Amino acid sequence: MDFQLSEEQKLLKDSVERYLAKNYSFELHQAMVAQRQAMSAEIWEGLAGLGLLGVPFGEEHGGFGGGGVETMLVMESLGRHLVIEPYLSTVVLVGGLIDLGAAQWQKEALCPRIIDGSMLMALAHFEPDSRYEISHVACRAEPDGDGWAISGRKTLVLNGPVAEKLLVSARVAGGPDDEQGVTLFIVECDDERLGGHEYPLFDGTRALDIQLDGVRVGAEAVIGAAGGALPLIERALERATAALCAEAVGVMQRLQEMTLEYLKTRQQFGVPIGRFQALQHRAVDMFIQVEQARSMAIMACGLLSSADAFERRRAVIAAKEFVGRAGRFVGQQAIQLHGGMGVTEELAAGHYFKRLTAIDILFGNSAWQRARFAQLRAEAPPAAFTQPRKQWKRI
């Protein structure tokens, strides 16, 4: 067991952190949100220049050949600087689906354009009735000539407003909650049978709801096996969920630093407020949660490459449950410790708090993850507990 980063991983971590520290100020974040921008083209170019958009793709497609740990390093830095750019949606989620399921020729067509930053994509999977359930797909695709015609609604398409293409899941067989029968299609956003509207989320990122009215795609638009896309989507969401945990650690770490800075400088009763034990203990409890959230993010990202699907699944569910809960706690404490300033739009702390709140909700909040965790196969109890007991005569 080894937690140390390789030289290559350290370089990756340093380069992304250095770039964002120099180019991604909180003021930039604020300005983009105020102008309803989903991203900055310059920053995206910068990330492409560092090779970060190719992290999940194989070297034969011009990618970095990275795994969970590389993605973790990038995501933690993105979290630290409250980056709203569509890295999670385009690179981790769609990139993950392409990496896991696309045919060779599709990879050749798509990867270079994602890696050089010239094309953004988004996943349109969740529907108005899905809540967090991954297998719920009511959207349908009917055979149409040698292709398909897709109809239905999708909601909360993260960073959809800036995407050129969408990956849309639709049912080719079965009922809305069946495990089998879901297919993943590439859909062009400029299709005239595709309607939609965009809106902001409370963390400043932007999303899209879409309505497909018989959108026609060719057979070549199918990613992975027809009817067998659900395991693919689950696997990609597993990666994205682990990545989100890493982002949360970056957000929490920075929020903790800002809070400590505030405790050391803000004076009341003639002393820095960090001298007061009641506030110190809140700060320590934040710290305890941040460190454990970091352990969980490392676990989830590090075990993504595990061949044991159960172990991987258990790790990601547990990490998201813990990180969601920890993020909520850390965010609430940070606001409380900032006092009145904490509830203003002006201070960065509140925006970090909002992102943590969004991260808890995305792909299943803590309560939902906990329920899933409880349903996982139980460990076999130690032998001593299962030995037959003596049957005593009744008294």
Partner 1 sequence: MPMDLNFTAEELAFRDEVRAFVADKLPGEVRRKVLEHRRLRRDDIEQWHRALFEKGWVAPGWPVELGGTGWNAIQQHIFDVESAAAGAPRLSPFGLNMIGPVLIAFGSDWQKQHFLPPILSAQQWWCQGYSEPGSGSDLASLKTRAERRGDRYLVNGQKTWTTHAHWADMIFCLVRTSSSGKKQEGISMLLIDMKTPGVEVRPIVTLDGEHEVNEVWFQDVEVPAGHLVGEEGRGWTIAKFLLSHERTGIAGIGASRRELSYLKHLAGEERDGARPLIEDPLFRDRIAQLEIDLMALEWTVLRVAAAEREGKAPGPEASILKIRGTEIQQTLTELQMEAVGPNALPFLPMAWGDRWIGPRVGPEYAAPLAARYFNYRKVTIYGGTNEIQRNIIAQQVLGL
Does the protein bind partner 1 through residue 336 (CB under 8 A)? no
Does the protein bind partner 1 through residue 258 (CB under 8 A)? no
Stretch 7-46: interaction string toward partner 1, x if CB under 8 A: -xx-------------------------------------
Smallest distance from the beta carbon of 369 to partner 1, in angstroms? 8
Closer CB to partner 1, residue 211 or residue 287?
A: 287
Smallest distance from the beta carbon of 51 to partner 1, in angstroms? 17
- Please tell me the distance from the alpha carbon of residue 54 to that of residue 47, in angstroms, as a whole number: 10
Closer CB to partner 1, residue 110 or residue 304?
A: 304
Cβ contact 177:216 at 8 Å = no
Three-state SS at 13: helix
The residues with which 267 forms a beta bridge, in sequence order, are 272
Cβ contact 356:252 at 8 Å = yes
Measured from the Cβ of residue 245, the count of other Cβ atoms closer than 10 Å reads 33
- Please tell me the distance from the alpha carbon of residue 275 to that of residue 277, in angstroms, as a whole number: 6
Considering only CA atoms, which of 134, 176, 133, 174 is closest in space to residue 152?
176
Does the protein bind partner 1 through residue 235 (CB under 8 A)? no
Does the protein bind partner 1 through residue 6 (CB under 8 A)? yes
The residues with which 211 forms a beta bridge, in sequence order, are 153, 195
Smallest distance from the beta carbon of 296 to partner 1, in angstroms? 5
Considering only CA atoms, which of 97, 31, 83, 6 is closest in space to residue 52?
83
Three-state SS at 169: strand
Select from 12, 318, 330, 347 the one that contacts partner 1 (CB under 8 A): 318
Using CB under 8 A as the binding criterion, the count of chain residues that bind partner 1 stands at: 49
Single out the segment in contact with partner 1 by CB under 8 A; choices: 54-62, 155-163, 246-254, 278-286: 278-286
Closer CB to partner 1, residue 118 or residue 305?
A: 305
Closer CB to partner 1, residue 224 or residue 324?
A: 324
Helix (H) or strand (E) holding 153: strand 147-158
The whole-angstrom distance between residue 288's C-alpha and the CA centroid of its chain comes to: 23
Return residues touching partner 1 (CB under 8 A): 1-6, 8-9, 69, 260, 263-264, 274-275, 277, 280-281, 283-285, 287-288, 291-296, 298-299, 302-303, 306, 318, 321-322, 367, 370-371, 373-374, 378-379, 381-382, 384-385, 389, 395
